[in-house]
Chain A
Amino acid sequence: MENRDFFYRRLHSLLGVVPIGIFLVQHLIVNHFAVYGPESFNKAAHFMESLPFRYALELFVIFLPILFHAVLGVYIVFVAKNNVRRYGFFRNWMFYLQRITGIITLIFIVWHVWQTRVQIGLGNVELDYSLMEDILASPVMFWFYVLGVVSTTFHFANGLWSFLVSWGIVVSPRSQKIATYATLLVFLAVTYIGIRALFAFV
């Protein structure tokens, strides 16, 4: 195919928002049921677990898009020569943090999927409130999850900003500034939802 690199980079940007970003928000909102008690969480988790076409949904909405986004993302991290010390501009810091949080998020997701989805698939554990309660009972794990969630939501919100630029939706400096504030609000809102759910398990 012609212009493969262009296509892959644009696909990378798109997949980060649709479906991965949408899945992330959905995932954290479902987690938030834990705030209303174990039963409420179990009911929501069971509903998600028993969605029709579950394996197809997991494969095409979650695993494959994240796999592509991660592989190309690691390459993008590798080809950058970060220079925030010399050029300490706000956007350059965001550029740098986007790459750092991308790597942290990848490590976190691999661990998290191994600990939950893979173990459930192997039949070692069951998907319910107590699974997360046990995991988060360890303070190390709890703070690792806090770091993972904040890193993921930052990567999502800042990635949403670059999505808007990379797709030519926000062009002028003013619109890009407004998008910065809008995605900051997205970051705060999604982080609140994610962190509050984590605290509900301890």
Chain B
Amino acid sequence: MAEDKITLIITRQDSPDSPSYQETYKINYRKNMNIISALMETQSNPYNADGERRPPVNWESNCLEEVCGACSMVINGEPRQACSTLVDKLEQPIHIAPMSTFPVVRDLVVDRSRMFDSLKKVKAWIPIDGTYDLGPGPRMPEKKRQWAYELSKCMTCGVCLEACPNVNSKSDFIGPAPLSQVRLFNAHPTGEMHKSERLNALMEDGGIQGCGNSQNCVQVCPKGIPLTTSIAALNRDTNIQSFKNFFGSDNNY
């Protein structure tokens, strides 16, 4: 087994503006490899399949247990996390490319800033600061907490944006992930107090109306988040909010 080699075909790019190219590596196989450990072989032995010495492949990774979202890349055509993708379960040769929805920084490193900007835009947090001690917030039923926990698993990995046909350079749609976060924070008993602010943010340009119901997001989400259920529920909420805005309402908070 020691001489076993596996082939990686990696889409590389030297800088944000330079053209991309493919580079093939033959790396030593070990049992139970994941894509991260396969990529690490290109660092310890930085020679491509033609025997040329090359700068090692760049990629991002942190947690190595599919909770941080940093190592998302397109592996054999499927956007997923490199850490939880096992070499033994893949067809050879293995094609690895950066996600196409995001600007490439270098090789497999992409800039997911747009997702973090979207989270700011939709106010995906709960304001708890005041000029005095506001005391403990309202309690949350345990069943609801368990349900909300599923939504909180989102790691901003970008896989749903990569699969969404309406997230692209021609459209300003912010994508499924930040939408579902609005549902999470609007479901929180304290977060609910600022519900309309988040809903109004969702109705701005690039907001929830950009969803075309292709429902790819819910199919590809590595955390199994019910994204399309969130979007449909928020469709209802934003529609009601828009009626409140237009006709006026006694409880428009």
A: residues with CB less than 8 A from B are 2-3, 5-7, 9-10, 76, 78-83, 86-87, 89, 91-92, 94-96, 161-162, 165-173, 176
Contact = CB atoms under 8 A, between A and B. Distances in A.
Contacts of A166: 211, 213, 235
A137 to B, nearest CB: 40
Given A83-B163, A173-B229, A91 B213 contact: yes
B204 A87 contact: no
Contact of B165 (A2, A95, A162, A168): A95
B233 A162 contact: no
Nearest to B209: A9
A66 to B, nearest CB: 20
A83 B242 contact: no
Given A5-B205, A79-B166, A167 B239 contact: yes
Given A89-B215, A89-B219, A171 B236 contact: yes
A83 B228 contact: no
Interface of B is mostly: helix
Contacts of B205: 5
Contacts of A91: 213-216
Contacts, number: 101
A165 B165 contact: no
A76 B210 CA distance: 9
Given A5-B205, A6-B203, A167-B239, A78 B170 contact: yes
B168 interface: yes
B238 interface: yes
Instruction: Say whether chain A's binding surface is mostly helix, strand, loop, or mixed.
Output: helix
B220 interface: yes
Interface in B193-222: 200, 203-205, 207-216, 219-220
25 contacts: A3-B207, A6-B203, A9-B209, A79-B166, A79-B168, A79-B170, A79-B171, A86-B77, A86-B163, A87-B219, A87-B220, A89-B216, A91-B216, A95-B165, A95-B213, A95-B214, A95-B215, A96-B165, A162-B212, A167-B236, A168-B236, A170-B232, A171-B233, A176-B228, A176-B232
Interface in B160-196: 163, 165-166, 168, 170-171
Pairs A-B, 4 closest by C-beta atoms: A168-B236, A95-B214, A9-B209, A91-B215
Contacts of A162: 212-213
A82 B235 contact: no
Nearest to A1: B246
Contacts of B208: 6
A163 B97 CA distance: 36
Given A89-B216, A92-B165, A95-B214, 19 more contacts: A2-B245, A3-B204, A6-B204, A6-B208, A78-B170, A81-B165, A87-B220, A92-B214, A92-B216, A95-B213, A95-B215, A162-B212, A168-B235, A168-B239, A170-B232, A171-B229, A172-B229, A172-B232, A173-B228
